[in-house]
Amino acid sequence: MLFSSIDFLYYFLPCVIILYFIVPNKFKNFILLLTSLFFYFVGEPIYVLLMLGTIFSAYVHGILIDKYRGTKLSKIFLISSIVITVSLLGFFKYTDFFITNINEIFNSSIALLKIALPIGISFYSFQVISYTIDVYRGNAKVQKNFLNLATYVALFPQLIAGPIVRYTSVEEDLESRKHTFEGFAQGATRFVIGLAKKILIANVLGEMCQDFRLCDDKTVLFYWLYGIAFCLHIYFDFSAYSDMAIGLGRMFGFKFPENFNYPYISKSITEFWRRWHISLSTWFRDYVYIPLGGNRVGKWKLYRNILIVWLLTGFWHGADWTFIVWGLFFAILLMIEKAFLGKFLEKLPSIISRFYLLFLVMISFIIFNADGMGQAIQDIKGLFGANGVPLINDITLYYLQSYLVVIIIAIIGATPFIKNAVLKLKENEKMRKVINVLEPIVIVLIIVATTAYLVDGSFNPFLYFRF
């Protein structure tokens, strides 16, 4: 069930809100867990058992880690928990990838298992791992109430595509959280903004990217148009989901961490990954990079740590060589910036460093979205006219005219310009009153517009559901 669907918006969510707020506080987690399991069951009936099994493993291991704290058994139970969770993730997500590569290397014919990928397994697996590690480190109290732990992992706003919420971020909220009309209104507003980003911008750009793939008459300009459009599409698609997840969490009294902070205004790859998919990059920092020694080691070990983290980051995104190459691409760029380029970029005019960042990120996402490395290389060559295609033609001009407005809106929306402008206007008391009156009207208009798009049956996938 998609957040941006009629079923979710007009059936599931209203029912959940009504049930949630009419029951006493002691039953609210039960309602959230029950409705979250139903939410997951609609899309993955069988794999609900897999998720519950993963939660039960984390619950038992957390108790055992805490019980034997300070002994070798505590570490053994931590390792056991991680091995079980990673093994389940590896089996369901990567088995066919390894079989395919073994067959190619050894010319064997091992049959593929063709296992369906459980939706959201990469996200909830990382949440479970972070929980048991934090209990072991003493950063989180062990949760002895299975209902509360299950609610944390299965909570439908962040279950399918993040953000990756740490147990420590919601530990207190699980036990006792405040519900206010102001908090609910803020959450609803954030959700609607995310919905607009998804339906009115991300989906439209996604259609253009799909049209590019189907077009047999490409040009150099069309390759550039595709590269720019896909960068904007993946940002608005994923950040929209995060906005909706954060908004939904706020409606139910939870405060989820921010996942994006205008990454396309960055001046380096290092800064970009402080702003893009923040919950994932900080997860790898805290649970892989720092335990390996972080940057407190020698130069070569530092490069080793970066390489390991980004190899895992790429592999986390999917069982395909394009994702691995994508991760290694960022690893190389980060190592170069650590070695010498970072200091050089700081001295350059910001416009140059920003173009450096945007160009390399565009190349990375072309690799990310390609169906195999052959297509990725073809797409990158197309940017420079190496495919023997013309510079421009009538078909390209048609697509440019059709999508130029939404691309311009997306470029502006990918910067803090609108946010800063509104905050500046609110400094004036009269303008603040006007904005306060206009805001609910705009929200209603957005709901009407997005509903019209959904009823029309427009292009509406979520890119990160495949992870």
Catalytic center residues: 317
Question: Which amino acid, one-letter code, is at 343?
Answer: K
CA distance 191 to 203: 16
CB 244 within 8 Å of CB 162: no
| DSSP codes of every residue in 282-299 | HHHIIIIITTTTTTSS-H
Q: Which one, of 75, 89, 169, 72, lies nearest residue 130 by Cα?
A: 169
Show Cβ contacts of residue 18 under 8 Å, excluding neighbours closer than 6 positions: none
At which residue do the structure tokens 């009269």 appear?
A: 430
Backbone φ, ψ for residue 25 (5° rounding): -55, -35
CB 136 within 8 Å of CB 65: yes
CA distance 383 to 385: 6
At which residue do the structure tokens 């902070």 appear?
A: 261
Question: Which amino acid, one-letter code, is at 120?
Answer: G
Q: Which one, of 125, 134, 129, 121, lies nearest residue 80 by Cα?
A: 129
Beta strands in 80-182 (DSSP E): none
CA distance 225 to 234: 14
Structure tokens at 363: 């190349």
The CA–CA distances, whole Å, from 316 to 55, 236, 280, 313 equal 20, 21, 10, 5
